[in-house]
Amino acid sequence: MGSGSWELSAGERRAYAEDGFFIRLRSFGDAEVAALCAAAEQAVERASAAAAGGGAAQYEIDGNLYCEATGTTVQFEHRTGSRTIRVLEPFHHLDPLFESLIDDPRLVEPMRGLVGSSRIALFTDKLNLKRPREGSRFRWHQDSPYWAHCCPHVDRLPNVMLSLDDASERNGCLRVVRGSHTRGMLPGLEGEGRLGPLFTDPHGFDLSQQVPAEMPAGSLLFFSPHIVHGSEPNLSDAARRAMVLTYQPGGHPMFKVDAKREAG
């Protein structure tokens, strides 16, 4: 498509303002998705090998295992003794395909509209992995409380999730709570471990407004940093992998990385 064809529509602007999210179906083709999947699995293999090598720093938070390896925070599945990787953050430096994704106009052009600036930069990026019959749930949370302590422009950190597999309720698709972003940062859960305050108290939002973000592979979900979201376990025989990129106004450093990465 030509220049400007990926810009936000009036309907998308309205949906983001009122609902906190919108979806663009099949923005990436099958061959593109297959190449990204292959690169993702190679990145996971390298991270697994580095984590098992003995030189990586490992630690536990609330009984869950994490590791710093290959310039990435590796989060393992929340089961005692599991070495299955659940999340890599950041991951963009692990393959040239991921680096080029940051500048892809299918992400950058709508993000300029959501950030409210023609000059934008990467804030953070995550590779989420829900393995068949193994991927655990993500509890209800907002992203903004994770970032508020280090980012003064937390309202201007929109996310975009690229689905690498067909996402359904069966394989634990992301669920968003429509309209929950309108009240900013909501109360967390006190007395539930170190990370409890970062999970959203269910009394603070209307659970009946949850929407399963079911979509085919190659689709994009744009969502607010304030929207409450989570997911159920993957009970299927199909993987549910996704890449999440968060953008910000240009000129600011990345999250947990002492560098700036302008986009587009």
Domain boundaries, the chain: 10-263
pLDDT at position 53 is 84
Cβ–Cβ < 8 Å for 222, 6:
no
Band (170; pLDDT cuts 50, 70, 90): very high
Q: What is residue 59's predicted lDDT score, i.e. its pLDDT?
A: 93
The predicted-structure confidence for 128-141, as pLDDT tens digits, reads as follows: 999 999 999 999 99
Specify the pLDDT at position 56: 82
Using CA atoms, how far apart are residues 215 and 173, in angstroms rounded to an integer?
Answer: 9
pLDDT in tens, 207-235: 999 999 999 999 999 999 999 999 999 99
CATH architecture group of domain 10-263: Sandwich (2.60)
pLDDT in tens, 194-209: 999 999 999 999 999 9
Task: Give dist(CA 146, CA 197) in Å, integer.
Answer: 10
Q: What percent of the chain has pLDDT over 70?
A: 98
The predicted model gives 1-11 an average pLDDT of 76
pLDDT value, residue 174: 98
Q: What is the DSSP letter of 167?
A: B
